[in-house]
Amino acid sequence: MAELNFSPGDEIVLRLAHEEVRGIALESPESSIVMLKLSSGYNIGISKENILGCEVVKKNLVSKLKKEEIVKNPELPSIGLVITGGTIAAKLNPKTGGVHWLTDLDEFRRFYPELFKVTNVKTIIVPFMTSSEAMTSEHWITIAEAVKPMLDNDEIKGVVVTHGTDFLHYTGAALSFFLKNLNKPVVLTYSQRSIDRASSDANLNLQCAARMALSEAAEVMLVGHANLDDDFCYALRGNKVRKMHSSRRDAFKPVNTEPIAKVWPDRVEYISSFKKRNEGKPELDADYSDKVALVKFYPGQDPSILDFYALKYKGIVVEAAGLGHLAPAEARHSWLAALKKHIRAGFVVCAAAQTINGRLDPYVYSNGRELVDAGVIFLEDMLAETALVKLGYVLGHYGWKKSIKDKMLENFAGELNEKLSV
């Protein structure tokens, strides 16, 4: 049996009879077993009797961190920071192999020292710490309420919000609607791997997010890796972006539009048009109804599902096929009669593209024209997730009850690309 000189949290390579296994050493509940967290995220146990050799590739990052005093440089521009959780605000727990939140602000500073060397973080707010899949519309409102005073503070040049990845694009859409008349950048960022892992994407994402927060773009944006390398990031409009991969560091892609900019830690290269930084007065308008749902249409789907939604909700966004198609009048499970009945009763039905990319056009085929006549609102090239958030926002404004269609088709914050062809 080989001599094993490592500590929990170290990155090690174990040499076995027929393979080498690389991972982060965890505390083991049994003295005869070495526990490893693999790059895939899975934990494995290896009997010490089977280990022929051990190499420490990288010592525990946590143990090497020194507590440094953060000295503010008055010559550096200031940003505001809102920490809400997610992998970017987490570290590996070597006892369990899971992650723990970086709730201690000094610890956050020690993990991200580069951020504090290029900008003054004037205000740090931690309204909550949670994963994005645990969020509700109340969390979106809380984030908007945390950001608003920073927009009013002339000393703060922009705002960075750290967030979990899975439902980040929902929050981006919500903030783009809740924060009206933006005067400076609001930048959401994330990581797919925690900061104490060798393959972490967190540092570059956060540095680029801070750089974009100092930029000229007065938009709600998402900033993250542009590719698999640590080259640069993209700044993407917050309501025209979607997570398109479960684990890649460049998981987020723009949809039906171009990135706003390429971003490096020290510079920004603009790619497409954007709303510019200004002296306007931002407004917080976060009235919202959560009685909305997102429904994916599939062949043979029973239209009685509409009865359920109409009973409990005020409106739905249906991910329709192709140019905006649902089961037509002649289909065995036609949706047409059910749609007409519920829409006449005040239930709102919107259609977004199931294909993700492209624009709906209900006038190409008779199927689409029937749905228009039934009262379905076709949302052009709007992302389904953005459409869901916007529908909740519109229905939350009771004064808009008679103009719901007009409001859904009004381009509030760049969620519609009016230049995109079918």
- Does the active-site annotation cover 243? yes
Contacts of 283-286 spanning 24+ positions with Cβ under 8 A? 283/179, 283/180, 283/181, 284/144, 284/145, 284/148, 284/178, 284/179, 284/180, 285/177, 285/178, 285/180, 286/140, 286/141, 286/144, 286/145, 286/178
Same fold, 11-61 and 292-408: no
- Does the active-site annotation cover 401? no
Question: Whole-angstrom Cα distance, residue 383 to residue 319?
Answer: 9
Nearest to 143 by CA among 82, 186, 208: 82
Residue written as token pair 């051990």: 54
pLDDT one-digit tens code per residue, 240-265? 999 999 989 899 999 999 999 999 99
Confidence class of residue 82 from pLDDT cuts 50, 70 and 90? very high
Which of 10, 37, 84, 87 is catalytic? The answer is: 87
For the domain spanning 292-408, the CATH number is 3.40.50.40
Q: What is the mean pLDDT of the chain?
A: 90
- Does the active-site annotation cover 285? no
User: By the 8 A CB rule, do 16 and 10 touch?
Assistant: no
- The fold of the 11-61 domain, in CATH, is SH3 type barrels. (2.30.30)
The arithmetic mean of pLDDT across residues 11-37, rounded, is: 87
Query: Domains of the chain: which residue ranges?
Result: 11-61, 65-284, 292-408
Burial class (CB in 10 A: 0-12, 13-18, 19+), 93: middle
Question: Residue 342 corresponds to which amino acid?
Answer: H
Which of 10, 166, 196, 201 is catalytic? The answer is: 166
User: By the 8 A CB rule, do 252 and 244 touch?
Assistant: yes
pLDDT one-digit tens code per residue, 296-343? 999 999 999 999 999 999 999 999 999 999 999 999 999 999 999 999
Which residues lie below 8 Å from residue 103, measured CB to CB, with a gap of 6+? 126, 129
- Is the pLDDT at 137 greater than 60? The verdict is yes
The arithmetic mean of pLDDT across residues 378-406, rounded, is: 98
- The fold of the 65-284 domain, in CATH, is Rossmann fold (3.40.50)
The residue count of the chain comes to 422
- Is the pLDDT at 65 greater than 60? The verdict is no
* Residue 7 pLDDT: 85
- Is the pLDDT at 419 greater than 90? The verdict is no
* Residue 68 pLDDT: 44
Q: Which helix (H) or strand (E) holds 340?
A: helix 336-344
Which of 165, 171, 257, 386 is catalytic? The answer is: 165
Which of 243, 275, 314, 390 is catalytic? The answer is: 243
pLDDT one-digit tens code per residue, 186-231? 999 998 877 666 667 888 999 999 999 999 999 999 999 999 988 9
- Does the active-site annotation cover 10? no
Please report, rounded to a whole number, the percentage of residues in the chain having pLDDT higher than 90: 71
